[in-house]
Amino acid sequence: MRAPSHLINAANDIRLAFFDIDGTLLDSHGQLRPELFSAIKLLKARGIKTAIASGRPYFAARFLMDELGIQDASMFYTGAHIYDPQSRKTLLDTPLKGEEALAVFAAANAMGLYAEAYTDSAFYTEQSTEISKVHAQHLRVNPILNGLADVINRFDIAKLLLGVNRTRQGDLLSTLEAQFPDLIFARAYLTAYPDWQFASVISAAATKQRAFDYLLRYHNVQAHQVISFGDAESDMDFLRMAGIGVAMGNANPNVQSVADWVTQTADNAGVAYAINQLFNPQP
């Protein structure tokens, strides 16, 4: 699958690249493919800034950013936190209101949904489960076991992560989302657990448009000078807004439909393949 010629031409204007992490930079086993390192170097050699746009917190993305050399101001928590690792400064922070977080957790708990709570420095869950162990492995950070209502009462909550096994429980996330129309439910999946669906629940003020516009101003670029890579519903806004939106081959059809191009899967180093196709095309 070769990149269309009009995208190769558009790539000449790119000055900023945004990368999702899980299912995009990381493969289905939570690992970086070796081809990514030279691909990121290629972008940087062309003067293109590299940044993260992910539902992860910075503390669970730092290992990957350090390894790949992605060090420009980035978006975390699906838009609720913008951080510049070079200046070590939080640029924008939009936590959930305490009463909103408590209400969502209480409703999710009543439905029997899986739940995690995230602060700026840690994530919490009430008990160790197969899913929490997988998250810990992928995030490379162990959760703190604690009652989540107590955590919500004591700390600012950047996001709640809720999960449902759709095969056993049905589409309860949509039912819950309908109860809280003023909050953002950003959907995502674990490739190794296709029956599960997750939602990052964040403040209504933490929109992707707000984060995207903020980062355009901060990096002094225009939308057509941005390329964005992603695989999940939560990445769709950045794929739409960027001059070039690249969906992963492992993305579902809804995500692929909004992208300008679909690359190979994360397991086949799809990000590296796309970069080489667009920025180092072979005759």
Q: Tens digit of pLDDT for each residue in 262-278? A: 999 999 999 999 999 99
The confidence band for 189, taking pLDDT boundaries of 50, 70 and 90, is confident
pLDDT at 193: 85
Share the mean pLDDT of the chain. 95
pLDDT value for 40: 98
Model confidence over 84-142: pLDDT tens digits? 999 999 999 999 999 999 999 999 999 999 999 999 999 999 999 999 998 898 889 99
Structural domain 98-202, CATH architecture: 2-Layer Sandwich (3.30)
pLDDT at res. 29: 84
Tell me which architecture the domain covering 5-94+207-279 has in CATH.
Answer: 3-Layer(aba) Sandwich (3.40)
- pLDDT score recorded for residue 283: 62
C-alpha of 70 from chain center: 15
Can you say whether residue 47 is alpha, beta or left, with left for phi > 0 and alpha for psi between -120 and 50 degrees?
left
Which are the contacts of 186, defined by CB distance < 8 A and separation ≥ 6?
Answer: 55, 78, 79, 199, 200, 201, 202, 233, 234
- Maximum distance among all alpha carbons in the chain? 60
CA distance 260 to 245: 5
* Category of 23 on φ-ψ map: left (φ > 0), alpha (ψ -120 to 50) or beta: left
CATH 3.30.1240.10 in the chain, residue ranges: 98-202
Average the pLDDT over 251-265 and give the result: 96
Residue span(s) of the chain under CATH 3.40.50.1000 come to 5-94+207-279
pTM of the model: 0.90
Q: Are strands 159-165 and 114-118 parallel, antiparallel or unpaired?
A: antiparallel
Q: Report whether 48 contacts 14 (CB < 8 A).
A: yes
Percent of the chain with pLDDT over 70: 99
Predicted pLDDT of residue 281: 76
**φ/ψ of residue 87, rounded to 5:** -90, -10
CA proximity to 52, closest of 69, 35, 28: 69
Q: Measured between alpha carbons, how far is 154 from 171 in angstroms, rounded to an integer?
A: 31
Q: Are 77 and 60 in contact (CB under 8 A)?
A: no
Starting at the edge strand found earlier in the chain, the sheet holding 49-52 runs: 49-52, 16-19, 226-230, 244-247, 261-262
Report whether pLDDT(1) > 90. Answer: no
pLDDT of residue 82: 97
pLDDT for 28: 86
* pLDDT at residue 149 in the model: 97
37-54: average pLDDT: 97
pLDDT at 250 over 70: yes
CB pairs under 8 A, 24+ apart, for 140-144? Answer: 140/60, 140/63, 141/59, 141/60, 143/116
φ, ψ dihedrals at 133, nearest 5°: -70, -40
Q: Higher-confidence residue: 188 or 238?
A: 238
Nearest to 92 by CA among 205, 200, 242: 205
In the chain, the amino acid numbered 113 is: L
Residue 190's pLDDT band, with cuts at 50, 70 and 90, is confident
Contact 123/89 with Cβ under 8 angstroms?
no
Helices 270-279 and 35-45 cross at an angle (nearest 10°) of 30
Per-residue pLDDT band at 194 (split at 50, 70, 90): confident
Share of the chain above pLDDT 90, in %: 89
